Chains A and B, each alone.
Chain A
């Protein structure tokens, strides 16, 4: 369980609350009892070697993966299930989709829709899912493109944009749904080094504006500067977590030390 660095726990319900979350693919135990709490407005960075379950945990939060044990809730509401008494009921597709609207997700490989322009990508779910008018969606999309510094690229197709630009459009696309939580799955891992900065800048602005964020990344600098909590995972478990400066400077566990010595 991780509290915010400044110790103020008063904000009420955690935005993300994981209690003993398990996930296995066949016999492979990918998540082995994850406990975690991210409070509204907090930025949590998940760090760990590949195969440690960071990405899987992130995908469980918006139900792209189904958890096989424990409890996982977003803003006080269970993910993927409804509870009546002591029984759990699986949610219908429609209900799962409704909950996903409130959770933005940014992928390592951007996953922009290649047959739509940048503007079209950002408008699409506003029109199709939120049923906003095209005019309102376009206005919102243009404002977001402005915010990520790509207003002049509105009519470009993804294949005409650089990786960094594509990822910024992907962030804008997620923000267009007015999410209360943003998940970032290694957002800079697929980028050329000179483009990492522009994406991290956008994320830093987002954090400053008070967005609740869960970020899987290897960018230690970003974790140190922006995160309220750093969670180190290995072997499907949370090894240690806390204030990022403390964890990076004085890791308590050998596995954390080993990992940090390799990436720093």
Chain B
């Protein structure tokens, strides 16, 4: 290698060049900072934002209880949605025409009607059918329920949201399953695996890499969709703040309270999604370095399989 002073060394001399300048970026930053300052100024100086009311209610018990209910309903509805969604997706791809049609009809119905209507339907099921009983069709009945006892309004909320979600999750899971190459199924079949084992052990774990990102979307969307439960008077976060501003008529600060909490939970969920994606990306490029390091530290560890 020849260096600038003409002497020959075996060291590589890094190139010294003037990098491309990006003046446009600096202009953009200045404009954005200016806009941000204007927004901040307006937020602080306009008294109608009522920041006093905002801070008064942000950490109150009643708001927390609403928040907890929102999170709880989101978790329960998503649990139903994901579990049933996986079942529906596998059913839809089954070679059995009966099973396939049932799954298709479910998705057709629950995706084709508004979730608001579905939630109200479950809440008012007691008016349609006052009693439910288990027994032989058109014959004797063994167990007998009052529908309103069986499905309290919060259960109606979870059922309505969860069953609707399942239809969407089914399509997400199906797209994940389709993304796994045919060779994987054939290799598993050639090893004598049956369809259920093959799905559970080989296809679904690989499909997860495709399934997780849109599912993260669904969870966040569900969190906010719980606000429609205001129509059946479930006191989740949104209903709670609405009840408050119906009394004190200070809508803006209370909507801000709700928004801040929705944002907080959404942020936490995004972090969780990052780790989930990393977990299901194992064996795929990008995550290998971490793994290899781990293997060198603990060779032949059970969990490494």
Q: Is the CB of A117 within 8 A of B194?
A: no
Q: Is the CB of A159 within 8 A of B305?
A: no
Residues on B lying within 8 angstroms of A by beta carbon are 181, 183-184, 186-195, 197, 201-202, 205-206, 280, 282-285, 288, 291-292, 295, 299-301, 304-305
Q: Is the CB of B282 within 8 A of A115?
A: yes
In the complex, the chain A residue whose C-beta lies closest to that of B294 is A155
Distance between B177 CB and nearest chain A CB, rounded to angstroms: 14
**Residues of chain B within 8 A of A109, CB atoms compared:** 183
**Residues of chain A within 8 A of B189, CB atoms compared:** 64, 97, 100
**Residues of chain B within 8 A of A104, CB atoms compared:** 190
Q: Is the CB of B291 within 8 A of A129?
A: no
Complex formed: what's the CA distance from A104 to B243 in Å? 67
| Given A97-B194, A105-B187, A129-B197, 10 new contacts (CB under 8 A) | A93-B195, A97-B189, A101-B192, A111-B184, A112-B187, A113-B187, A114-B283, A117-B305, A159-B288, A160-B288
Give A89-115 as 1s and 0s: 1 = Cβ < 8 Å from B's Cβ atoms.
Answer: 000011001111101110101011111
**Residues of chain B within 8 A of A22, CB atoms compared:** none
**Residues of chain A within 8 A of B201, CB atoms compared:** 124, 128
Complex formed: what's the CA distance from A93 to B188 in Å? 13
Q: Is the CB of A125 within 8 A of B193?
A: yes
Q: Is the CB of B191 within 8 A of A100?
A: yes
Selected A-B contacts with CB under 8 Å, 12 pairs: A64-B189, A100-B192, A103-B190, A107-B190, A111-B183, A113-B188, A114-B284, A123-B305, A157-B291, A159-B283, A159-B284, A160-B292
- Contact flag A115-B206 (CB < 8 Å), given A100-B189, A107-B187, A129-B197: yes
Q: Which of B186, B202, B295 contacts A107 (CB 8 A)?
A: B186
**Residues of chain B within 8 A of A124, CB atoms compared:** 191, 201-202
Q: Is the CB of B282 within 8 A of A157?
A: yes
- Chain A contacts with B in 61-75, Cβ cutoff 8 A: 62, 64
Q: Is the CB of B187 within 8 A of A111?
A: yes
Residues on A lying within 8 angstroms of B by beta carbon are 62, 64, 93-94, 97-101, 103-105, 107, 109, 111-117, 119-120, 123-125, 128-129, 154-160, 170, 173-174, 177
Complex formed: what's the CA distance from A223 to B184 in Å? 28
Q: Is the CB of A119 within 8 A of B195?
A: no
What 10 pairs across the A-B complex have the smallest Cβ distances?
A101-B192, A111-B187, A125-B191, A120-B305, A105-B190, A111-B183, A157-B283, A100-B192, A155-B295, A114-B283
Complex formed: what's the CA distance from A206 to B160 in Å? 59
Q: Which of A94, A120, A129 contacts B191 (CB 8 A)?
A: A129
**Residues of chain A within 8 A of B301, CB atoms compared:** 155
Q: Is the CB of B191 within 8 A of A116?
A: no
Complex formed: what's the CA distance from A157 to B284 in Å? 9
Q: Is the CB of B191 within 8 A of A117?
A: no
In the complex, the chain A residue whose C-beta lies closest to that of B296 is A155
- Contact flag A158-B283 (CB < 8 Å), given A64-B190, A100-B189, A113-B202: yes
Q: Is the CB of B192 within 8 A of A107?
A: no
Complex formed: what's the CA distance from A64 to B186 in Å? 7
Q: Is the CB of B305 within 8 A of A62?
A: no
Q: Is the CB of B192 within 8 A of A98?
A: yes
Q: Is the CB of B304 within 8 A of A107?
A: no
In the complex, the chain B residue whose C-beta lies closest to that of A127 is B201
Q: Is the CB of B191 within 8 A of A174?
A: yes
Distance between B190 CB and nearest chain A CB, rounded to angstroms: 4
